[in-house]
Amino acid sequence: MNKRSFTYRIRKDWLRNKALYVLVIPVLVFYILFHYKPMYGAIIAFKDYTPTLGVAKSEWVGFANFTRFFNSIYFGRLIRNTISLSVYNLLFGFPAPIILALLLNEVRGKKFKSLAQTVTYLPHFISLIVVAGMITDFSLTTGLFNDIIAFFGGQRSPLLQNPKLYRSIYVSSSIWQEIGWGSIIYLSALAGVDSQLYEAAQIDGAGKWKQLINITLPSIAPTIIIMFILKTGSLMNMGYEKTILLYNPATYETADIISSHIYRVGLLEQDWSYSTAIGLFNSVINFALLLFTNKMSKRYSETSLW
């Protein structure tokens, strides 16, 4: 592709679609200014950053920040906890909105459908702090969850002090909060499925289940795959907010993740370089996973992110 023809084509396109270009310029500027330009700051991962010296004048330390992190006694546990929580979230939290969307799609009564949708969306809008407060209260020995357990003949216990239960509580509450919101995109994909396909299948004698497997799922497969690839791209990115609100030293062994551990270091010493190094480490892993998943998806299906 020779350069001249590219600029020529751009100019012609611009003349034809000025409005579209004008519309997209702020988005481009936003990404360049707030996402690409700050990448320069990632170099403080290799420096000993002091705010007074600034990014440029801070001393280079090479990989010291990374070795400090890798040599931490809890390094293995932190990685394990971060990944297992992410994988659980993916394993259970990914199919949940899809299943909900499929179910809602079958509902005939419009009123009930809207009601169900609203009820499932609402938790998404509740602030995380409130949700965590509710979970903490309900998990007390005298709380709601224990009331239910006792009702079914179980033994009351302080749920959030049990490291074995932590992952279940964490993932279930995430599912509860996000299932409605996450189902939106699948519902819209489902709406686009040609109803003639269903009619043709019915004529051929296919039951509900066969219709699901052969028509519905393949139709929304591209959506599912894209969403999945995107999710694997944030596998290492477990944020510390929810963890900090739900954990306590009794559950550190399953609850303490990379970001919450570093948060506590930050309480002792504000080390910007250290946390940047860890963030960079996370991003590299995420990106590698993203590339891998995308490649796999390209090979085995026609859908891929790029």
Partner 1 sequence: MKKRRALSLMLAVTVFAASLAGCGSGTTASEQPANTTAASTGGTETTAPASEEFSYPMTSGEKLSYWADLQTTVSTNFSNLGDTPFAKGWMENTGIDLEFLHPPIGQAKEQFSLILADGNLPDLMEYNWKNDYPGGPEKAIKDGVIIPLNDIFEQYCPNIMQYLEDNPDIDKMIKTDEGHYYVFPFVRGDEKLCNTIGLMLREDWLAELNLEVPETIDEWHTVLTAFKEQKGIAAPLTFEYTNNQYLDANPFVFAFDSFRSFYLGADGKVHFGASEEGYREYLATFSQWYKEGLIDPDIATLKSDQVSAKMTNGTSGAAMGQAGSRMGVWIGAAVESEPDYMLVAAPQPSTEKGKMAEFGYVEIPYSGRNSVAITTSCKDVERAARLMDWAYGEEGHIYFNFGTEGVSYTMVNGYPTYTELILNNPDGLPVSEAMSSYIRGNYNGPFVQDLRYLEQYYTMDAQKETPKRWGSASSNGKSYMLPPITPTSDESKEFATIMNEINTYRDEMTLKYIFGSESLDNYDAYVKNIETMGLSRALEIQNLALERYNAR
- Select from 3-11, 65-73, 79-87, 177-185 the region that touches partner 1 (CB under 8 A): 65-73
DSSP lists the bridge partners of residue 48 as 59
Of 121-129, 194-202, 203-211, 257-265, which part binds partner 1 (CB under 8 A)?
257-265
> Is 66 one of the binding residues for partner 1 (CB under 8 A)?
no
Answer yes or no: are the C-beta atoms of 228 and 94 closer than 8 Å.
yes
Quickly count helices (H) and strands (E) in the chain. Answer: 17, 2
What is the length of the chain? 306
57 lies in the site for partner 1, by CB under 8 A: no
Among 42, 68, 185, 296, binds partner 1 (CB under 8 A): 68
The DSSP code sequence of 14-52 is: HHH-HHHHHHHHHHHHHHIIIIIGGGGGGGGGGEE--TT
In single-letter form, the type of residue at position 171 comes to V
Q: Six-digit token pair at 89?
A: 């979230």
Binding segment toward partner 1, per CB under 8 A, in 86-94, 132-140, 233-241, 275-283: 132-140
Q: x/- string (CB under 8 A) for partner 1, residues 143-182?
A: --------------xx-xx---------------------
C-beta of 83 vs 245, nearer to partner 1: 245
If the CB atoms of residues 119 and 148 are measured against partner 1, the closer one turns out to be 148
Provide, rounded to whole angstroms, the least separation between the CB of residue 230 and partner 1: 24
Shortest Å distance, C-beta 100 to partner 1: 31
**62 is a contact residue toward partner 1 (CB under 8 A):** no
DSSP conformational letter for 204: T
Told to check if 203 binds partner 1 by CB under 8 A, we report no
Cα–Cα distance measured from residue 229 to residue 223, given in angstroms and rounded to the nearest whole number:
10
Distance of CA 208 to the CA centre of its chain: 32
